[in-house]
Structure 1
């Protein structure tokens, strides 16, 4: 590892929480301990930086958190950090605490804030992608995505038991305001009849044709997975339209909501978060900054933060084709 003047690193979680954030915090703290660097935990994201809510963390400070969902540092969206005055106060606290760099665990909003902070004050930082949506450019997977998928699949499996018992059509809304990664993968894995996501053009006619076709083939229950950002309409409007078209159907709606954010992280998310946490510390030690640590083809890569913010992962068109083929 090259020589560096880096003595103390701050770590924070920002934006929406995701399973595996604690694992990433643990990896950062223990990597700092391994390389004999001090690590400071910043509570409540950028708001904690402004309010000077910081405490030093050692290797034993992060014991027994690798399996816990949420974030021990807590997280928040800071209106104050969006102002020049707020960022100046944050920078003053950062200097008073002698922090030489930051590791920010979060999504594109968190990275946008870090990028502005870097442009204004030159604070070195590395981002770690923590979001269940899996929509951040520069990494094949984001921390929390796999856990959220498994949570959704378990829920849909349970819903299917009820759907089959009562000959019902269930519309299941999953998270994904601008991205359909959770809906598409969980829909395929749970055998959904239809999957509605914002990345493809959907229509009620196509949905009704699919339901009619399944009915004619002898199917007496169906699961429709809908991303919350679906442009065709919200899950309740879609259910009402289906009831109007098929008055004999027993149509129900389930919104999974924030249960998708919670729970113990899967093995995949724990390993991913551990690798990215270590990579972020090593990146700062090597003089890297204004970058995001990610995983591509199972290799650690660093992506310029502006690319990670401006670009987005694209839906795999092959998966859309697979979903269509399997819905016969």
Structure 2
């Protein structure tokens, strides 16, 4: 399914854009599940100023969706109407060491790269990012954490651009962090963040990162087409435990499967559709609710339209 090409209209309204616009860009290659339809328009801004200009000029009626590394994302088979914004390049992909054992990182930086740079600079306290398969933008939006650390523990401030094209700086208090959540409005696209670490020895930090890597490889299907943890933990319990107790380990729908290794991970065995994966997740939620009364909350973002039915195709 292809959408109407609106790139010409956008360029007429924003002639000074420096980023790249692509019409009807397939999005499956940008997601770890390798599923999903097209973006009506994919925009890759050159930097924060270019992003702000684009949003200021873009008509309000055109929807905006932001994607990062695509690690905890399902793009539905019918694709995404409007503009999909994907940050990358030098404008959003650099990490800089600051005084006082701090780092500034663009939000397209992979979490694990931030951890590596911190280790090389002798900055301790950020090694837990080695175990998070996403980017800094996603870590800010969902207060990502692993192996005893969370984003709220280390964030100083973040910058972002709202739907009107206005740039904001958010203090730690402004972020309103809670478990896998922040209170910053959904229309804000984070562009960079400053993190606070503490003095450490590079060899000790690297050893901790190696331990985290080994633990992930031993317990998670990280070499599969997966989206990471599917559901938030229904504290005080673990999501995988209530999924396992409901008999869902290894459950399949089409070519989507609940991982045998870690049953809070869904995997694409090769030819699953987005509908297979999302449908399997909903079936897991149904069985867990029936077995324990627990309502699992999706941790993976699901965006876009379902594939049209044969009756809808003309």
TM bracket (short chain)? under 0.3
Name the structure where helix makes up a greater proportion of residues: 1
Structure with larger RCO (C-alpha < 8 A, sep 6+):
1
TM-score (norm 1): 0.23
Name the structure where strand makes up a greater proportion of residues: 2
- Whichever of the two has the greater Rg, that structure is 1
TM-score (norm 2): 0.24
